[in-house]
């Protein structure tokens, strides 16, 4: 699960208001320049060597789930990507293309029901059910069996990945920004509220969320290789919880990859050390394939 993002337009207005308030607060004058107003949002260039195909998958109740299938020229495996809460496939356009291009992987990313391109309304139970349908549909889009099959789960997606790995054959899983359980994360959710109202807030999980399996419990039964990437400054899911998920895994092949200075939403997989961790982990499967 990811914290809500501040709209760039609102961020600019807030910054300007704060700047205008400085003379009142400090008794001095602040001259505004172009750099105070412009807040550019850059977009990365998408590799043109990757073929993108729109996909539509029917869930068990006939809800239409939609997303992208990305195919490099010389694929050496496949990867299903599950993102975090408040996010969509489109939000991770560059990341998905980059994963396909950098590691020569066929990448399937489908929006959760109620998110992005997909129909329906989200629920914890349906989220897990839909993941198995997405997995089963992957082979329909592939002309031949494409091994290895890796799954990548970020934040909320890490819950989906661990649950899916307990139901379907997976060669390896990558968990980014994970946590032991939603219950353990509740204090962090409270800290996201303004400090002056935190003391008024009491959080508890409803029965619908309590039915979600705890990743730290499920992973105990999984011996498949796992890579856990976690920002050391993660304000939503503590690095200690992610480390416990890693330590609980009985896998013979597992990697722990803490990222100094990174929080829940600023972690970059394009830079070290996360980049090196991904290269080392994925190469294990592609080397065996040769």
**Cα separation, 24 vs 37, whole angstroms:** 20
Tokens of 257: 């990859």
Together in a domain, 65 and 13: no
Residue (of 169, 175, 176) closest to 148 by Cα position: 169
103 shares its domain with 176: yes
Same domain, 254 and 111: yes
Give pLDDT, residue 196. Answer: 67
Q: Looking at residue 10, what is its pLDDT? A: 53
Residue 93 backbone dihedrals phi, psi, to 5 degrees: -55, -55
Q: 233 and 185, same structural domain?
A: yes
On whether both 272 and 146 belong to a single domain, the answer is yes
pTM score: 0.82
pLDDT tens figures, 65-87: 999 999 999 999 999 999 999 89
The CATH number covering residue 273 comes to 3.40.50.1820
Same domain assignment for residues 28 and 170? no
- At 204 the pLDDT is 81
Predicted pLDDT of residue 183: 86
Q: Does residue 274 share a domain with residue 193? A: yes
Q: What is the pLDDT of residues 112-169, one digit of tens each?
A: 999 999 999 999 999 999 999 999 999 787 766 678 999 999 999 999 999 999 999 9
The two three-digit tokens of residue 5, written as one number: 């993002």
Q: What is the pLDDT of residue 250?
A: 98
Any bridge partners for residue 255, and if so which? 227
Distance from C-alpha of 247 to C-alpha of 185, rounded to nearest angstrom:
18
Rounded Cα distance, 110 and 118, in Å: 8
CB-CB contact of 255 with 189 (8 Å)? no
In 3-state terms, what secondary structure has residue 208? helix
Domain check: are 177 and 99 in the same one?
yes
Whether residue 212 sits in one domain with residue 134: yes
Cα–chain-centroid distance for residue 75? 23
Output the pLDDT for position 202. 78
- Residues of the chain scoring pLDDT < 50: 1-4, 13, 16, 20, 24-25, 289-290
Boundary residue ending a domain (9, 24, 42): 42
CA of residue 220 relative to chain centroid, distance: 22
Task: Round the CA-based radius of gyration of the chain to a whole number and report it.
Answer: 21
Q: What is the pLDDT of residue 4?
A: 45
Position 187 scores a pLDDT of: 79
Please give the helix or strand (H or E) that residue 33 lies within, else none. Answer: none
Gap between the Cα atoms of 179 and 197, Å rounded: 25
Which residues, 6 or more positions from 178, have their beta carbon under 8 angstroms from its beta carbon? 153, 155, 158, 159, 215, 228, 230, 237, 241, 242, 245
E-strand ranges in 31-102 read: 51-58, 64-71, 78-82
Output the pLDDT for position 32: 54
Say yes or no: 234 and 119 in one domain. Answer: yes
Do residues 179 and 241 share a domain? Answer: yes
User: Is there a single domain that holds both residue 24 and residue 110?
Assistant: no
Which residue is listed with tokens 């990945």? 161
Distance of CA 127 to the CA centre of its chain: 14
How many domains is the chain built from? 2
Report how far residue 256's alpha carbon sits from residue 238's, in angstroms, rounded to the nearest whole number: 14
Copy the structure tokens of residue 65: 């789930």
Range of the domain at 29: 1-42
């Amino acid at each position: 699960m990811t914290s809500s993002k501040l709209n760039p337009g609102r961020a600019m207005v807030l910054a300007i208001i704060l700047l205008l308030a400085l003379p009142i607060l400090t008794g001095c004058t602040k001259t505004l320049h172009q750099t105070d107003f412009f807040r550019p949002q850059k977009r990365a260039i998408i590799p043109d060597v990757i073929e993108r195909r729109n996909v539509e998958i029917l869930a068990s109740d006939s809800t239409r789930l939609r997303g992208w299938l990305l195919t490099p020229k010389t694929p050496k495996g496949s990867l299903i990507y599950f993102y975090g809460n408040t996010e969509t496939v489109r939000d991770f356009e560059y990341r998905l293309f980059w994963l396909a291009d950098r590691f020569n992987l066929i990448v399937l990313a489908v929006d959760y029901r109620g998110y992005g391109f997909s129909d329906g309304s989200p629920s914890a139970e349906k989220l897990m059910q839909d993941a198995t349908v997405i997995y089963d549909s992957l082979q329909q889009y592939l002309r031949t069996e494409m091994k290895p099959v890796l799954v990548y789960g970020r934040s909320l997606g890490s819950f989906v990945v661990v649950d899916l790995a307990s139901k379907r054959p997976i060669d390896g899983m990558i968990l980014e920004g994970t946590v032991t359980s939603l219950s353990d994360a509740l204090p962090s959710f409270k800290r996201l509220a303004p400090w002056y109202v935190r003391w008024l807030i009491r959080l508890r999980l409803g029965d619908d969320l309590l039915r979600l399996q705890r990743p730290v419990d499920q992973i105990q039964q999984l011996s498949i290789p796992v890579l856990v990437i976690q920002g050391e400054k993660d304000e939503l899911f503590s690095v200690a919880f992610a480390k416990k998920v890693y330590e609980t895994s009985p896998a013979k092949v597992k990697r722990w990859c803490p990222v100094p200075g990174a929080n829940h939403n600023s972690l970059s997989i394009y830079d070290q050390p996360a980049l090196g961790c991904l290269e080392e982990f994925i190469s294990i499967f592609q080397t065996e394939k040769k």
